[in-house]
């Protein structure tokens, strides 16, 4: 839920900043700034909670910790690339694909009751998906509207 609050708060602050310091409100740039902030925040979780995030992947997947670091790198790179004019559309499309591809890991973790912050099996369980799935859809729509379109 923290990433959602960050996304909305940074969006609102960015809109306010544009309103205060320029002649127009730049919704697209505010959306990108909010998305980049959220991506950097979630990437930091990959480094802070590496053990718990590695547990989000089934045991049969090799190099689980490497996958966690790789996905953090993808999030950091995407946070920068959405501001590069020649790359923003491709980055946005790849980011939407990324959001689709990481959803199964979130679903697996929820079914196992994983709390990735404590690296224990005491999480909320499947009820977490009532938030996570709509949030993933929001991220996909947000990325399309503010980055791709």
The per-residue pLDDT for range 18-57, each reduced to its tens digit, is 999 998 999 999 999 999 999 999 999 999 999 999 999 9
**How high does pLDDT run on average in the chain?**
97
State the average pLDDT over residues 125-143: 96
State the average pLDDT over residues 118-147: 96
Q: Which residues are within 8 A (CB) of 90 and not within 5 positions of it... i.e. 6 or more apart?
A: none
Identify the pLDDT of residue 23: 83
Give the global pTM. Answer: 0.95
């Amino acid at each position: 839920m923290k990433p959602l609050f960050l996304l909305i708060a940074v969006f609102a602050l960015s809109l306010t900043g544009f309103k205060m310091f320029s002649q127009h409100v730049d919704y697209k740039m505010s959306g990108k700034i909010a998305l980049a902030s959220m991506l950097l925040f979630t990437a930091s979780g990959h480094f802070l909670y590496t053990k718990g995030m590695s547990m989000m992947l089934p045991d049969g997947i090799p190099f689980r910790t490497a996958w966690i670091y790789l996905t953090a790198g993808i999030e950091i790179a995407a946070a920068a690339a959405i501001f590069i004019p020649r790359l923003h559309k491709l980055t946005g499309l790849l980011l939407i694909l990324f959001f689709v591809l990481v959803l199964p890991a979130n679903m697996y973790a929820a079914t196992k009751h994983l709390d990735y912050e404590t690296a224990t099996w005491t999480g909320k369980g499947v009820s977490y998906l009532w938030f996570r799935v709509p949030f993933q859809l929001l991220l996909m729509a947000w990325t399309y509207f503010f980055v791709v379109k």
